[in-house]
Amino acid sequence: MALLSAVANASGRPIDDLVKVWRQPSFSIANISSSGTANKTVIPRRVTADISIRIVPDQVRHHSGMMDKADRQDMNVISDSLKAFTTESFDSLNSPNTFGITITHQASWWLTSLDSPYFKALEESVQDVWGKEPLKIREGGTVPTIFWLEREFGAPCVHLPLGQASDAGHLPNERMRLLNLR
């Protein structure tokens, strides 16, 4: 919370907002589409939704008991739980319709150690170049390869964001300042 307080003070964002964005799991509906015409009075034959779920370190699930800490990174456990819950919920409706769920992409959470010598070296480099101690944020959910790289190569990773809040990441007019890149 001390690290989040530093970010809140520097950015002017309420700490509760930062906790929601960086420390809590999320479930987002990214898109809903249907077959048929644009006439909303006609019930479509098919409806699909694209969802995104962010998991977080030490997330606990209570579907079929506690998740062991060793399994916390097992996306299959979380995916299977999602499939079971949604299927059971649909089945309880006794609908004549059909339901299916397809997982198209998944990646586990990742969190580096702030005591890592690699993180310390990166932190010192940022201080040397920018003359300020970097703020430590818990962002990077759109970089799912870091967990995979650590696991595959057995080497620790660090993550250095190169942007600013004004860069409008993943929004219209997204940009990156050349100064930050250099």
**% of the chain exceeding 90 in pLDDT:** 30
Read off the pLDDT of residues 19-65 as tens digits, 9 standing for 90 and up: 887 888 888 898 999 887 777 788 888 999 999 888 877 665 433 44
Q: With 70 as the cut, is the pLDDT of residue 94 above it?
A: yes
| Whether pLDDT at 111 is above 50 | yes
Given a cut of 70, is residue 142 above it in pLDDT? no
Instruction: Taking residues 143-158, report their average pLDDT.
Output: 83
Q: Whole-angstrom Cα distance, residue 13 to residue 21?
A: 11
Distance in angstroms (rounded) separating the CA atoms of residues 177 and 173:
12
What confidence score (pLDDT) does residue 5 get?
Answer: 93
Give the pLDDT confidence of 4-18 residue by residue, as tens digits. Answer: 899 899 888 899 988
Taking the complete model, does pTM exceed 0.75, yes or no? no
Question: Among 29-33, 145-149, 160-164, 176-180, which is the least confidently predicted range?
Answer: 160-164
Residues 6 or more apart in contact with residue 176 via CB below 8 angstroms: 162, 163, 167
Q: Which residue has the higher pLDDT, 179 or 2?
A: 2
> What pLDDT, on the 0 to 100 scale, is given for residue 15?
92
Q: What is the largest CA-CA distance in the chain?
A: 65
Average pLDDT over the chain, rounded to whole? 82
Q: Which residues does residue 50 pair with via DSSP β-bridges, in sequence order?
A: 31
- What one-character DSSP code corresponds to residue 92? T
pLDDT at 97 over 60: yes
Confidence band, pLDDT 50/70/90 cuts, at residue 69:
very low
pLDDT at residue 141, rounded to an integer:
56
96 or 160, which is more confident?
96
